[in-house]
Structure 1
């Protein structure tokens, strides 16, 4: 098949932005001709990756995949205006300078986030008559509202209504719509998406074997082998509800427990001040470079996944869930819905009530009671569950089948 991928984020960007690259390589490895339309890499710093210079467009080949990059305004800071400029600039550039590379495809995979990507998507769908598989990686407008970017003013309701209508138009134009967790599929059905369009496409994690850590992060931080390390890595924002973790640590008197927080975000400074007022061992590491992530993953006996209590929490599946399971590490999930279900079903997780310091503290005490050896066994169970449920091979199988179904729908039309 001739397959296109449309995503604002792509290699060499790390974390969730790396997932489209995994898919592209997987499809190319099965003999498909793959073309990618994306932006110049700048996630998560908002600065261009080394070796790139902004231009109207640039073509390259990565791992046998043809990649067209188009200009955008690089920004990942806390400004809604600059973030919107990044989204809209990519959409405009992709429409003007990139859609030609997606002509003549059998099917197009599209990452739905941000929803401004619909502009080049609709052009390819209707002008080039290419059927679309729309992969709903983030729920809009729900995820934007949960992040706090819409504020609480009178314009919030109007913005949500506009984005809801925009998403509905995207769903109508797609031949198939992938959802990443059962809860998201149920919600999309309630929002009027025909069930025959819906297909379960859970996310995977990058599975390249990482280079051994250059240093032992535990030793570097002066953490002894008897200590039990909880790691949170990712965005430190309002949606993650990390205040409850800081408060929970203050309730646990086991001296073996140490909490490492890596990342940055809107709530970072407030949480640093909150943790400084606690007598517990909570350390903020800031945003670590990509090559330090294997060391951070290895340092944690258990990794923390947290979502603030909200209607959105039941439908959110952070990519760190799959990444933690793939790495064979245990999980403490202060979440509800699909995340809690995976934590339980995998055998790798301990579940606490989100936003409840007492419940999270109970989870921390259970971690300490289990000890490092038993937490390693939980991690092994999680890795086996990942292999069966979320692996790249399984994910590419599912996406490939959905793309074939979309192409068949296009031929019938």
Structure 2
């Protein structure tokens, strides 16, 4: 394998195999039994020969309540059923998702992870500390602490752009505050030995903040093969009614352009077409009220289901739907559900812009519609439903082939290990 690392001052490549077994500490505020893509990545790294441990908070996402069997004040280490250690620090639960509680939730993990994480792992040595940097990027500070104490190479996998994500969601609007966040983000980036971007479009934005000294590489989110292999109609309490069921699966939040979905549904006259929203999020209650107020009989708010039930839900779907708001930052993002959608063997309706739409087009896996285009989305649903079955099957097969070539977990795990080795071999002097 051979990878190009983007730095203006020095374009470097790393490749080659090594028999050395890497010791990796994954830092992720959210982890099993919460459902996040990093769970799949850890399993894949272990299957490829890495010794992996995880530093996480107490599970409380998405409901905002600490899971049964855990405590917000808990501090300790547990064994995952697959046989690896998860070190957990206390966190303030998210609660109902309000701004103040979310801020306390974020900072509690960063502060206690940095202070107590080294205590929990005091007898451990690691070659790499790997930060799964969903928002907030502040988690990178925990990785920097471990880099300092353990001497491990520090790799940050950037999943959201800061400060762009704060500005796009309206969470922070003050220009001075956004500039301060940008400076803090740059400080965190420069404490890494390697930055990985989940989208190629992220690289320029990351580089503008991190400067010239830290190498950057593209590394996409893998699909979750376990969710789609041997999918059957068995195992789920959700039984979709007969008809053409367009399934949206995942977070129901402010970035998902849910108004567009409802507007599109209101335009569809075909009684066989139904939109099924599977998941939960900050707009779940808003959706319920809107469906009732608009009297939308063709929209089904199904609720959230455990990940092990998703294969049977995908198997019942006629098509899979992904939507995002129209914005410059979101146009650079690849939603983590897209790889799994590709693997699921169903045509995809993608109402979004940028790199994610390009993937669906390159894969010939479905129909793309510009972000927030409710008229276009309604027309695409009708067009897809009226296509010959063979045409839809061709899209489904093309999506699976594209998944195998670009997003399969095992090949991506091997690439990630190569990135780790590069970070170790080029570990820079301390930047504290």
Distance 1:196 1:90, change over 3 A: closer
Measured after TM superposition, the shift of residue 88 of structure 1 is: 1.0
Hey, what's the Cα distance between the residues in 2 that align with 1:410 and 1:263? 41
Measured after TM superposition, the shift of residue 405 of structure 1 is: 0.6
The equivalent of 2:262 in structure 1 is 246
- Give the secondary-structure state (helix, strand or coil) at the position aligned to 1:173: coil
Hey, what's the Cα distance between the residues in 2 that align with 1:241 and 1:315? 16
Which segments of 5 or more consecutive residues in structure 1 lack a partner in the other structure? none
Q: Tell me which moved more, 233-242 or 340-349.
A: 233-242
Measured after TM superposition, the shift of residue 130 of structure 1 is: 2.0
The equivalent of 2:367 in structure 1 is 350
Any idea what the Cα deviations from partners look like across 1:192-238, whole Å, max 9, x if unmatched? 543860111100122224774446777x44x22xx211111222222
Determine whether 1:137 maps to 2:159.
Answer: yes
Determine whether 1:91 maps to 2:113.
Answer: no
Q: How many residues align?
A: 402
Measured after TM superposition, the shift of residue 59 of structure 1 is: 1.2
The equivalent of 2:138 in structure 1 is 116
Distance 1:48 1:272, change over 3 A: closer
The equivalent of 2:275 in structure 1 is 259
Alpha carbons 1:213, 1:292 under 8 Å: kept: no
The equivalent of 2:331 in structure 1 is 314
Hey, what's the Cα distance between the residues in 2 that align with 1:332 and 1:145? 27
Which segments of 5 or more consecutive residues in structure 2 lack a partner in the other structure? 1-21
Hey, what's the Cα distance between the residues in 1 that align with 2:267 and 2:283? 21
Alpha carbons 2:59, 2:67 under 8 Å: kept: yes
Hey, what's the Cα distance between the residues in 1 that align with 2:299 and 2:286? 14
Written as runs of structure 1 = structure 2, the 5 A alignment for 1:261-280 is 261-276=277-292, 277-278=294-295
Written as runs of structure 1 = structure 2, the 5 A alignment for 1:58-69 is 58-62=76-80, 63-69=82-88
Distance 1:371 1:229, change over 3 A: farther
Written as runs of structure 1 = structure 2, the 5 A alignment for 1:376-387 is 376-387=393-404
Alpha carbons 1:146, 1:312 under 8 Å: kept: yes
The equivalent of 1:160 in structure 2 is 178
Alpha carbons 2:58, 2:89 under 8 Å: kept: yes
Q: Calculate the aligned-residue CA RMSD, in Å.
A: 2.4
The structure richer in helix per residue is: 1
Measured after TM superposition, the shift of residue 127 of structure 1 is: 3.2
Distance 1:302 1:362, change over 3 A: same
Measured after TM superposition, the shift of residue 43 of structure 1 is: 1.9
Alpha carbons 2:236, 2:309 under 8 Å: kept: no
The equivalent of 2:207 in structure 1 is 189
Hey, what's the Cα distance between the residues in 2 that align with 1:243 and 1:298? 26
- Give the secondary-structure state (helix, strand or coil) at the position aligned to 1:115: coil
Hey, what's the Cα distance between the residues in 2 that align with 1:131 and 1:259? 46
Q: Tell me which moved more, 370-379 or 156-165.
A: 370-379
Give the TM-score, by structure 2 length: 0.86
The equivalent of 2:17 in structure 1 is none
The equivalent of 1:77 in structure 2 is 96
The equivalent of 1:11 in structure 2 is 32
- Give the secondary-structure state (helix, strand or coil) at the position aligned to 1:336: coil
Distance 1:88 1:412, change over 3 A: closer
Distance 1:27 1:273, change over 3 A: closer
The equivalent of 2:342 in structure 1 is 325
Give the TM-score, by structure 1 length: 0.89
Measured after TM superposition, the shift of residue 279 of structure 1 is: 5.3
- Give the secondary-structure state (helix, strand or coil) at the position aligned to 1:37: strand
Measured after TM superposition, the shift of residue 385 of structure 1 is: 0.6
Distance 1:194 1:66, change over 3 A: same
The equivalent of 2:54 in structure 1 is 36
The equivalent of 1:107 in structure 2 is 128
- Give the secondary-structure state (helix, strand or coil) at the position aligned to 1:260: strand
Hey, what's the Cα distance between the residues in 1 that align with 2:71 and 2:296? 47
Alpha carbons 2:244, 2:385 under 8 Å: kept: yes
Alpha carbons 1:133, 1:403 under 8 Å: kept: yes
